[in-house]
Chain A
Amino acid sequence: MKINISRQYIYLMVVSLFLFIFVLVFSFAVLIPEGKEYRIKRVELKKTNKELREYENFHNETLETLQDLKSKNRRIITAFDATFNPSRFEKQNKNYFSSLSISEVNFLKVEKDFAIYEVNTTSEISSPSTFYDFLDSVNKSDWIIAVNFPINFKRDGELIKSSFTMKVYCNNKDSNITASSSVDK
């Protein structure tokens, strides 16, 4: 039996077959992998965005904590930043003493992140109660000062001569820093 197909139909079938194969190959080799990649990348982006949002919330909470801590400790932070100024200290505390003299500021040591300077003080007080008032005022001063031993009280007529050491704590800006360069004299 002879099948009689015209040349035109054969041509039509060949073109159809070629285009069909092209569509199939293009879909399976290019489009579907690209689609899979699209899906993966979309999920990844969503995950990263979610992570970012969570981290932003956490970051904002920490920022709030920091700001709260800063506002609560503003005086302490400023006091640690301030360099000790003996003349200003004398001016602020002269009311508690009949006379007050402060020796040169000496660098003592660095403890953790804080530099410690030592100041020797000699003074005359009218009664021990003024010294108590001075100790109260030291805790409210512009610097972080610890009144340290040895403390000596000696009667001198109507007055009491006193001598004591003060330790001034401040931020250690540079470990090689010297007392003369970092502390106002």
Chain B
Amino acid sequence: MKYSYITPGKKTAFTQEIQLLLSFFTITILMLLFTYTFLLYKNYTFVQDKNSTLRELASLEKSFDNMKVSISFIERQQMLSEKVYTQNSVLKDSITNLFDLVPLRITLSEASLLENGLILYGITPNKDVYNFMLQAPLRSIFHRTYSSFYPAKNGWLRFVSTNYIDEEEELSSED
């Protein structure tokens, strides 16, 4: 016996409500997954960028260290060259002063400039000329002055003047 004139439709678990629900959750989950993938990708790129920045920083540090070494070396070169140039200039002044020190009446035959002394060989008309005109200024410069004389053929006197600066006294006077 038939109770209905229409044929019954097939019953399914995916009803319209379920379909709506699944669509909503599918969209939600997809959004969550998209966000998660985005975060994963960004974190990966951040790590890569940071590593590359750190590598660049390390390379800059190395280059900076090399530059510092170069700067310090050039500065030392500059200091040494200035010291050498000053030494040469001082030497020139010392030699100029030495030759200016010798009076016209005394003739030098040899001069030896030592690290801490001066040896002069020459000829003088007499001892007084030597003592007043050469030995006096030499005594004011050097700590120890020794002179010896021997007669020359023309009646003049040959002399050897040895003069030294004592380094210890020099240092203590500087202190």
Interface residues of A (CB under 8 A from B): 8, 11-12, 15-16, 19, 22-23, 26-27, 30-31, 34-35, 37-38, 41-42, 44-45, 48-49, 51-52, 55-56, 58-59, 62-63, 65-66, 69-70, 73, 76-77, 79-80, 112-114, 128, 131-132, 135-136, 138-139, 144-147, 149-155, 169, 171
Contact = CB atoms under 8 A, between A and B. Distances in A.
Contact of B39 (A38, A136, A146, A153): A38
19 contacts: A15-B21, A19-B29, A26-B36, A34-B43, A35-B39, A41-B42, A44-B50, A48-B50, A52-B56, A59-B64, A66-B67, A69-B75, A80-B81, A132-B92, A135-B88, A151-B113, A152-B111, A153-B112, A171-B77
Interface residues of B, number: 58
Contact of A34 (B36, B71, B74): B36
Interface string B84-104: 110111011001100100000
B89 A169 contact: no
A150 B92 contact: no
B88 A146 contact: yes
Given A52-B57, A55-B61, A131-B95, 13 more contacts: A8-B17, A19-B21, A23-B29, A34-B39, A34-B40, A37-B39, A38-B39, A48-B50, A48-B57, A149-B114, A152-B113, A153-B112, A171-B77
B46 interface: yes
A77 to B, nearest CB: 6
Chain B interface main SS type: helix
B146 interface: no
A19 B22 CA distance: 9
A37 B114 CA distance: 77
Contact of B95 (A11, A22, A128, A171): A128
B18 interface: yes
Interface in B52-69: 53-54, 56-57, 60-61, 63-64, 67-68
Contacts of B46: 38, 41-42, 44-45
Nearest to A69: B74
B114 to A, nearest CB: 5
Contacts of A26: 29, 32, 36
A155 B113 contact: no
B42 A38 contact: yes
Contacts of A30: 36
A31 B36 contact: yes
A66 B31 CA distance: 56
Interface string B1-28: 0000000000001010110011001001
Contact of B88 (A73, A139, A149): A139
A152 B110 contact: yes
Contact of A151 (B18, B96, B99, B112): B112
A136 to B, nearest CB: 7
Contacts of B42: 38, 41-42
